Amino acid sequence: MGRKYFGTDGVRGLANAYPMTAEMALKIGAAAGRYFRRDGSQAHRVVIGKDTRLSGYMFENALTAGLTSTGMNVLLLGPVPTPAVGLLTPSMRADFGIMISASHNPHHDNGIKFFGPDGYKLSDEAELEIEKLIDEGVELAMPENIGRAKRVDDGRYRYLERVKSSFPSGMNLNGIKVVIDCANGAGYRAAPEVLWELGADVIPVGTAPNGKNINEGCGSTKPQTAAEMVVAHGADVAICLDGDADRVVIVDEAGTVADGDQIMGLMASRWASEGRLSGNALVATVMSNLGLERFLSAQGIGLERTAVGDRYVVERMRVGGFNLGGEQSGHIVMTDYSTTGDGLMAGLQFLAEMVRTGKKASELAAVFDPVPQLLKNVRFQAGQTPLDMDAVKATIADAETRLQSSGRLLIRKSGTEPLIRVMAECEDDVLLNTVVNDVVDVIQKATAA
């Protein structure tokens, strides 16, 4: 059974348009409140964090109304990184947590992500149960049992201490000049504070949110600004977060960008050498570069691949007992420290390696040569199913045959936007461009028909 409202990572869409309306958020809050408060007792609570989007105020209030209407007590954290919600949900003995964010998307989008009482994202089964309650409606609490809402002023500071605890004891960042790009998002206060407290010379970028500039020309999806700042200021490295600070990319001292695959490769190699890489394997998605797989294999390290989405990475990590995983996009999950991707923690791991080895960022941020990879997106309209059309199927099959001995092809629907993503890897650039463009062309014709 497919999910109706939930995508790869919660409910997401254009703010003030279905399903991301205040009315729908109220229903989602009530449904989630009833799902987690099935025993009818009064000692129930939920923590809510948000990023810096203007619509966050609307959704925060609507969710609070829905949750308190079912008897849930609400603890409001304000703007905090997504991983802070994952960490503080079990720490504050909450039944579940909610993060209001559309991550790397522009400000006009927003989303609602859920965490269970253990701080991990909800299973597909739990989301289906909540969807059922959204559609059926829920029994509201009696007037005397309506929940309360309370602001938690020190949530960010609790998170800061947890983040710093992931950095090697006795080590500091004295003498290291760091550009920190917070994407005008949820980490705009926490990230510079952590780096400064650890001794770094901090150059902040994207730390002036106005509700509409989140991810705008900055952050992990647009690291060019940070790269320019690194060169201009003679910085040693840049850490670029996304809007909710659960992703990271690294920029070296020359302004060269390293994605999540390079960071994971570096960490997996280091952890394996120290005997602390659980299962002697890294968990990554089907999007991770073939070069990463070859690099790890040469060192006797395994690579476990999952579907796209950090929640699927975490599920595989928990089932298999692995402690390191992530995505090429920069979600780095370290279950020894956190329950979900944490861009700031991953950035600190990179900085710790710089301190430990005395090497420049450029010497650490390119641990393998990536196989050329090309990704193109094709937008489609609601109700269209171009991947089911015979012409599209035939073109995809032909492309797979041509790549069989020298690369691979991956076609998938985005879980957060109405896009079909066409990705291929191949060391033959001409073949790479040909197969991707052939598939994109046939999908575009199918969606235009």
Per-residue confidence in pLDDT tens, the chain, 449 aa: 567 899 878 999 999 999 999 999 999 999 999 999 865 556 799 999 999 999 999 999 999 999 999 999 999 999 999 999 999 999 999 999 999 999 999 999 999 999 999 999 998 899 999 999 999 999 999 999 999 999 999 999 999 999 999 999 999 999 999 999 999 999 999 999 999 999 999 999 999 999 999 999 999 999 999 999 999 999 999 999 999 999 999 999 999 999 999 999 999 999 999 999 999 999 999 999 999 999 999 999 999 999 988 889 999 999 999 999 999 999 999 999 999 999 999 999 999 999 999 999 999 999 999 999 999 999 988 778 889 999 999 999 999 999 987 889 999 888 767 889 999 999 999 999 999 999 999 999 988 86
Q: Distance between CA atoms of 374 and 350, rounded to whole angstroms?
A: 27
Q: What is the pLDDT of residue 39?
A: 59
- DSSP reduced 3-state for 238: strand
Calpha distance 294→291 (Å, rounded): 5
What CATH number corresponds to the domain at position 425?
Answer: 3.30.310.50
pLDDT at 414: 81
Read off the DSSP letter of residue 355: H
Domain that includes residue 287, residue range: 260-345+358-364
Query: How many whole angstroms separate alpha carbon 314 and alpha carbon 121?
Result: 9
Number of other CB atoms surrounding residue 389 within 10 Å: 17
Residues 250 and 266 in one domain: no
Inside any domain, residue 6: no
Report yes or no on 2 lying in a domain.
no
Q: Of 119, 81, 80, which Cα lies nearest the Cα of 97?
A: 119
Residue 252, in any domain of the structure: yes
Burial of residue 294 (CB within 10 Å: 0-12, 13-18, 19+) is middle
Structural domains counted in the chain: 4
430 and 320 belong to one structural domain: no
* 144 shares its domain with 15: yes
Contact yes or no for 25/35 (Cβ under 8 A)? no
Same domain for 137 and 43: yes
Together in a domain, 148 and 170: no
Contact present, 222 and 107 (Cβ < 8 Å): no
Q: Which residue has the tokens 């809402």?
A: 149
> Which of 256, 283, 318 represents a domain boundary (last residue)?
256
Q: Are residues 327 and 274 in the same domain?
A: yes
Same domain membership, residue 143 and residue 27: yes
CB 345 within 8 Å of CB 303: no
The two tokens of residue 446 are 């199918």
Domain end call among 99, 124, 153:
153
| DSSP strands (E only) in 9-131 | 11-14, 45-50, 73-79, 96-100, 109-115
At residue 422, the pLDDT reads 95
Which residues sit opposite 121 in a β-bridge?
A: 115
Do 141 and 273 fall into the same domain?
A: no
The predicted pLDDT at position 383 comes to: 77
Strand positions, DSSP E, 286-429? 302-306, 324-326, 332-334, 373-379, 407-413, 419-426
For residue 113, being part of any structural domain is answered with yes
**Which of 199, 200, 349 minimizes the C-alpha distance to 274?**
349
Active site residues: 103
Whether residue 399 is found in the same domain as residue 290: no
Distance (Å, whole) CA 74 – CA 327: 32
Q: How far apart are CA 127 and CA 135, in angstroms?
A: 13
Whether 403 and 431 have beta carbons less than 8 Å apart is answered as yes
So what's the pLDDT on residue 447?
Answer: 87
Token pair 């430990």 is found at: 356
Q: What is the pLDDT of residue 386?
A: 87
Q: What pLDDT score was predicted for residue 159?
A: 97
The verdict on 300 and 176 lying in the same domain is no
Whether 387 is in a domain gets the answer: yes
Residues 28 and 149 placed together within one structural domain of the fold: yes
Number of H helices, E strands in the chain: 14, 18
- Are the C-beta atoms of residues 311 and 415 closer than 8 Å to each other? no
User: Is there a single domain that holds both residue 147 and residue 168?
Assistant: no
- Report which of 43, 23, 314, 4 is spatially closest to residue 129, judged by C-alpha positions: 4
Query: Looking at residue 146, which CATH number applies to its domain?
Result: 3.40.120.10
What's the rounded Cα separation, in Å, for the pair 54 and 62? 14
Burial (Cβ within 10 Å: 0-12, 13-18, ≥19) of residue 205: buried
For residue 5, being part of any structural domain is answered with no
- Domain end residue (candidates: 229, 256, 283): 256
* In a domain? residue 75: yes
Is residue 293 situated within a structural domain? yes
